[in-house]
Structure 1
Amino acid sequence: MSNTTKSPEEAFAEGMAGTVVPDVSSKQDKTRSLAQDALRDLIRRPMFIASGVLIIAILIIAAFPTLFTSVDPLACDLKHSMEGPSGSAWFGYNFQGCDVYSQTIYGTRNSIIVGVLTTIFSLIIGGLVGVLGGFFGKWTDALLSFVTNVFFGLPLLLAAIVILNNFRDEKGMRNAGVMAVVLTLTVVGWMSMARVMRGAVMQVKQADYVAAARSLGASTSRMMFRHVLPNSITPLIVVATISLGAVIGAEATLSFLGIGIRPPAISWGVMISEAQGRISQGLHPLLFPSGMLTITVLAFIMLGDAVRDAFDPKLR
C-alpha cells in the first residue's frame, strides 16, 4: 500500500491530519482550533444545512413510519392494480395493488438500516486496521496492507453477489435478510476507510506533541488513544459520511438484481425491481422509490462534501 499512488481520499486525509491542532490538553490562549473553525464554517454553508435537514427528515421517516402513513404496506388489492396517484393514494398503486406511498415510507427503514450499520461496521474495522498499521508500521503495516490490498482486488458487486447467493431461507430458496446484506457490504467495503485512517495516523504520529509524549514515557495505548486517534479521526468520519450514501445505493442495486433484500421485506431496491418490468403500464411505481433513493444518496454525499470542505485546510 505504501508504494502505490495515493488516492484522493488518502491525499485529503494527509492534508487534514498534517495540520490538525495538537491535543486539547495543550490549549493555546485564545486561538481557535481547526475543529472550531470548521464548525463555524459548516453552519454558514447552505449545502450543509439543506442536506442536514433532509437527512433528519429521512431518519424520522425510517424510525417512525406510522407518523406519515396509516396504510399497511402489505395490504394489497388487485382491483387497484397500477392505478395512478389520487387523493386516496398519493403515489398510486403498484401492479399488485399495494399503496406505493406506504411502501415508499416503510421501505426507508431497511434502506437506512443497511446504510448506517454497514458504515458503522466498516468504520470500526477499517479504523482499527488503519490505526494499527499506521501507528506500529514495519511488519504490522506490511501485513495489514497486504490483507487490505487483497480485499481491494475483489470487485465489490461481484463479490457481494457471490456471498449473498449462499444465503438461503428455510425452504432452500435464495433469500438474504437485512443483516446478511449488512455483513456482506461490510466485508467488501471497509478497505477505503482503512487506507484513509492509515494515512492520517502516519501523519499525526510524526507530530511534535506525539514525540513529546513518547519522550515523557507515555504508554503506547495512551499515545494512541489520547493523542493520535482523536487527531486523525476526522478524515475517517468525512469519508464514512460520503460512503453511507454509496452503501444505500449498493443495497438498492443488489435488491434490484434479486440478490439482496427480497419480498415480502420492503426496500426501495425491491420496489424498483418490481416496477421496472411494467414501465409501459405506468411510471409511478418506479418514479417515487427511485426519487427517494436519489434524494437520500444525494443528501449524504452533499453532507460529506460540506464536512470535507470545512475541515480541509487547503480549501480554507
Structure 2
Amino acid sequence: MPEPEPHGDPRAADPRPAMDAITPGDGGAMTLATGDARSLDEGPQPGVPGSGKSRSLWSDAWHDLRRNPVFVVSALVIVFLVLIAIWPGLIASGNPLQCDLAKAQEGSQPGHPFGYDTQGCDVYTRTVHGARASIAVGICATAGATLLGSVLGGLAGFFGGWWDALLSRIADIFFGIPIILGGLVFLSVVTSGSVWPVVGFIVLLGWPQISRIARGSVVTAKQNDYVQAARALGAGNKRMLLRHIAPNAVAPVIVVATIALGTYIALEATLSFVGVGLKPPTVSWGIDISNASVQIRNAPHMLLWPAGALSITVLAFIMLGDAVRDALDPKLR
C-alpha cells in the first residue's frame, strides 16, 4: 500500500539540511556554507557594510577627497600654479626683466592686460614669473621643516626620557621667537637674494610645530595593541617605528604640512615686502607688492594682480589642507 505524501511545508521532505551549516573560517571568523555549494563571497555588495574587501584609511580618504568639490577645485588651482611656476612660458612669453620707462604706470593695453609698473615692466609677465620663486620657497621650506620636525619629534615620542625633554625645551625656545622679528634679524645679514636663505630661515623656525604634531601622533600610536603585540613578538625598535608606528602617525603631519605650505608662501611675501626676503633681480610677488604699495592711488593695477595671485595661491593650499584634514580624521566622517 503506497505511503501518503507529506503534508505541510514542502521543505520537510528535502534531504538537504534545513539550515546552513556554520563552519569556522580563517582567523576564528564564522562563514556560511550553503547546501548547494554556492560561494558566499560573490564580490562587494553596494550599500552593505563589511561586504567585499576592506579599505584602509588612505583608500577611504582618497575616496572622500575625489568627491569633495573643495579638494578638486583647490587641487586644480595648485596644479595650474605649479605648471606655470615650472614653465612660465606656457602663458607668458615675455621677459619679466625687460622694461620700458616710457610706459611706466600705464594701464591695460592690447597684449599687456595687466598694464605696466613703475619701471615700465609688464605686470602680467612679472605676475606669472613670480609664481616660481614663491611656490619654490613654499615647497622647499615645507619639505625641510616636515622632514626635520618629523624625525626629531618621532624619535622623541618613541624613546621619551631625556631626549624628549631636551627636544621640548629647544622647541619652546624657537616658539618664543617672533617670525617677522626673527626674519629681520636673521636675513638682514644675508647678502644673497636667492630663495635658499629664506628657505633655511623658514625651516629653522618651522620645524618645532611639525615636531610637536609628530611627537603626539607617535605617543598615541605606540600605545595601541598592535604595537604592544609586535613588541611582545620580539620586533626591534626600527621595525616597530618604521613599519607599525610611522604609517599610522603620519596623517596629522601631512595635514599640518599642507596648511603650513600656504602660510610659508605668505611669509616669504611678507619678508620680501619689508626688504629682507628675496631681492631683485629675483621676481617675486612680495617684491612687486612692495614696489606697488607707494603708488597704490595712482596705479592700483600694479598692486591688484600680484596681490590677487598671492591670495589665490595661499587660499588654495589652505583649502587643500582643510579637505585633507576632513578626509584623514575619522572623527569627522
Q: TM-score, normalised by structure 1?
A: 0.88
SS of 1:233's partner is: helix
1:99 to 116, 122, 127: 122
The equivalent residue for 2:239 is 222
SS of 1:188's partner is: helix
The equivalent residue for 1:292 is 309
Query: What is the alpha-carbon distance in structure 2 between the residues aligned to residue 259 and residue 51 of structure 1?
Result: 30
Q: Could you say which structure has the higher helix fraction?
A: 1
1:38 to 53, 57, 61: 61
Is residue 64 of structure 1 aligned with residue 87 of structure 2?
A: yes
2:262 to 222, 233, 245: 245
What amino acid is the match of 2:211? Answer: A
Aligned-pair distance for 1:88?
2.0
Is the Cα contact below 8 Å between 1:252 and 1:268 reproduced in 2? Answer: yes
Aligned-pair distance for 1:32?
2.0
The equivalent residue for 1:236 is 253
What amino acid is the match of 2:213? Answer: V
What amino acid is the match of 2:207? Answer: W
Query: What is the alpha-carbon distance in structure 1 between the residues aligned to residue 319 and residue 111 of structure 2?
Result: 34
String of CA shifts for 1:98-145, please: whole Å, max 9, x gaps.
Answer: 000000011110000100000000001110111011100111111111
Query: What is the alpha-carbon distance in structure 1 between the residues aligned to residue 117 and residue 106 of structure 2?
Result: 7
Map 1:116-131 onto structure 2 (within 5 A): 116-131=139-154
SS of 1:189's partner is: helix
Aligned-pair distance for 1:85?
1.1
Query: What is the alpha-carbon distance in structure 1 between the residues aligned to residue 168 and residue 118 of structure 2?
Result: 50
Query: What is the alpha-carbon distance in structure 2 between the residues aligned to residue 162 and residue 302 of structure 1?
Result: 32
The equivalent residue for 1:310 is 327
The equivalent residue for 2:15 is none
Aligned-pair distance for 1:34?
2.1
| Count of paired positions | 283
Query: What is the alpha-carbon distance in structure 1 between the residues aligned to residue 193 and residue 211 of structure 2?
Result: 27
SS of 2:283's partner is: coil
- Ranked by relative contact order (alpha carbons within 8 Å, sequence separation 6 or more), the top structure is 1
Is residue 267 of structure 1 aligned with residue 290 of structure 2?
A: no
What amino acid is the match of 2:269? Answer: A
String of CA shifts for 1:272-312, please: whole Å, max 9, x gaps.
Answer: 00100011211111000000000000000000000001111
Is the Cα contact below 8 Å between 2:154 and 2:214 reproduced in 1? Answer: yes
Is residue 257 of structure 1 aligned with residue 274 of structure 2?
A: yes
The equivalent residue for 2:70 is 47
Aligned-pair distance for 1:156?
1.4
Query: What is the alpha-carbon distance in structure 2 between the residues aligned to residue 285 and residue 153 of structure 1?
Result: 36
Map 1:93-242 onto structure 2 (within 5 A): 93-168=116-191, 175-242=192-259
Query: What is the alpha-carbon distance in structure 1 between the residues aligned to residue 115 and residue 52 of structure 2?
Result: 62
The equivalent residue for 1:12 is none
Query: What is the alpha-carbon distance in structure 2 between the residues aligned to residue 280 and residue 129 of structure 1?
Result: 49
Among all aligned residue pairs of Structure 1 and Structure 2, give the percentage whose two residues are the same amino acid.
50
Aligned-pair distance for 1:228?
0.7
The equivalent residue for 1:11 is none
Aligned-pair distance for 1:29?
7.8
Q: TM-score, normalised by structure 2?
A: 0.83
Is the Cα contact below 8 Å between 1:181 and 1:260 reproduced in 2? Answer: yes
Aligned-pair distance for 1:234?
1.0
RMSD: 1.2
Query: What is the alpha-carbon distance in structure 2 between the residues aligned to residue 87 and residue 251 of structure 1?
Result: 32
Aligned-pair distance for 1:188?
1.0
Query: What is the alpha-carbon distance in structure 2 between the residues aligned to residue 106 and residue 201 of structure 1?
Result: 41
The equivalent residue for 1:17 is none
The equivalent residue for 1:21 is none
Gaps of 5+ in 1: 1-27, 169-174
String of CA shifts for 1:242-292, please: whole Å, max 9, x gaps.
Answer: 000000000000000011001111100000001000112111110000000
Query: What is the alpha-carbon distance in structure 2 between the residues aligned to residue 30 and residue 57 of structure 1?
Result: 36
Query: What is the alpha-carbon distance in structure 1 between the residues aligned to residue 325 and residue 268 of structure 2?
Result: 24
Aligned-pair distance for 1:160?
1.5
Is the Cα contact below 8 Å between 1:256 and 1:270 reproduced in 2? Answer: yes
Higher Cα Rg: structure 1 or 2? 2
Is the Cα contact below 8 Å between 1:156 and 1:189 reproduced in 2? Answer: no
Gaps of 5+ in 2: 1-50
